[in-house]
Structure 1
Amino acid sequence: MSIDPSAIPNFGGPNPQPQPQQGPPPVVVPDAELVKQLLNQMELKHGVDGEGDVVAPWEEFQVYFMFRGEQKELFAVRAFYNHAHDLGAKPELLEALDEWNRETLWPKVYTATQDDGVLRVVGEAQMIVGMGVNINYFAAMVVNWVQASVTFNQWISERLGLVKEVDGDGADGDQPGDDDGNSTES
């Protein structure tokens, strides 16, 4: 299965030349192999976890690509952000998350309280894919959701004052696919 390169936004590399297409793009039922192919084309490091979900690690968060349901008809992209928040900070955190959710389409973000009482932030976007989806639409959504996950991380870090100083003059900007040691395949 080939993916139209023009459907995948460029993150700064050379622009691939679009290939002329005969008729509409194919409708496919996406799976983990297609997600891995897209991540490879985007040059993002990724691996597979114990449940078979594809995961792309960054230094401050991980993005999971999951297929759920009896027929794997639900495709979900979830970003799990590493920064831990105390329960006492929940009102400020919820205010920030509500602001993000009002002003953006995705990812929708929420808090998850762990057993030890620590709050973490999760971002999520979903689509039904069981009946098939246009390959270019699917590729565009994966790319957009990954970029939105990166954008949210930058936004929440700035909004809550979590930005790390690098040499005393700026923010620590993660690059797509920065490895945190969790990658099991490239």
Structure 2
Amino acid sequence: MPNGHSHDAAPAGNKLTIERLEESLERLGYAFVEDDDTPNVLRARFDHYPFTFAVAGEHSHILVVRGRWDELLSVQQKLEATRLCNHWNMERMWPKVYVRRENDSALGMYGELVFDYYYGVSDEAIDRAITCALSTTVAFFSSLSSQVSDQDEADA
């Protein structure tokens, strides 16, 4: 057994569940809705940005918090969008950011944090994960807003 870790998953009371995620969001004072199509996903808006909170993984032990910038870029801006994401990822630990094609003509910019709670998680740790994910992702989006507007002004 490497590093002395047991291969047993978290005790039932410490497991990450969608119910515990809902409780955490309520404790933090955040409004959210359940996803009608996906039972392990919650949706919310923070500073007008859409976010999803998902419980994922084979053992439902992974918390994924993903936000999307509220503006779409044209596919012609892919190189610049990728450059902005790469710069952020090189300079900062959180969140992981990326650009994704939304349709034939538009790109979305995303921020994402993933937390592995295979061995269990406290309520406080879930709260901290959500707070960290939201604050760092919104900081990325704020940074994007100023950089894209600066670029637009430079092009004018």
Equivalent residue for 1:35, pick from 3, 21, 29? 21
Q: How does 1:142-181 map to 2 (within 5 A)?
A: 142-161=130-149
Structure 1 partner of 2:5? none
Equivalent residue for 2:105, pick from 117, 125, 134? 117
SS at match of 1:160: helix
Structure 1 partner of 2:153? none
| TM-score normalized with structure 2 length | 0.78
2:126 matched to 1:138? yes
2:72–2:106 Cα contact (<8 Å) kept: yes
Equivalent residue for 1:83, pick from 68, 71, 82? 71
| TM-score normalized with structure 1 length | 0.66
Q: In the comparison of the two structures, how many residue pairs are matched?
A: 136
Deviation at 1:156, TM superposition (A): 0.9
The residue identity in structure 2 corresponding to 1:151 is: A
Q: How does 1:16-35 map to 2 (within 5 A)?
A: 28-35=14-21
2:45 matched to 1:66? no
- Structure 2: distance between partners of 1:128 and 1:157: 30
SS at match of 1:155: helix
The residue identity in structure 1 corresponding to 2:30 is: L
2:33 matched to 1:47? yes
SS at match of 1:119: strand
- Structure 2: distance between partners of 1:115 and 1:153: 20
1:107–1:123 Cα contact (<8 Å) kept: yes
SS at match of 1:82: coil
Segments of structure 1 that go 5 or more residues without pairing to the other structure are 1-26, 163-186
- Structure 2: distance between partners of 1:56 and 1:101: 24
Structure 1 partner of 2:7? none
Segments of structure 2 that go 5 or more residues without pairing to the other structure are 1-12, 151-156
Deviation at 1:131, TM superposition (A): 2.3
1:60–1:83 Cα contact (<8 Å) kept: no
Q: Which has the higher contact order (CA 8 A, sep 6+)?
A: 1
SS at match of 1:139: helix
> Could you list the per-position Cα deviations for residues 35-76 of structure 1 after superposition, in whole angstroms to 9, with x for gaps in the alignment?
222222222211111212111113642111101123212211
Root-mean-square deviation (CA), in Å? Answer: 1.8
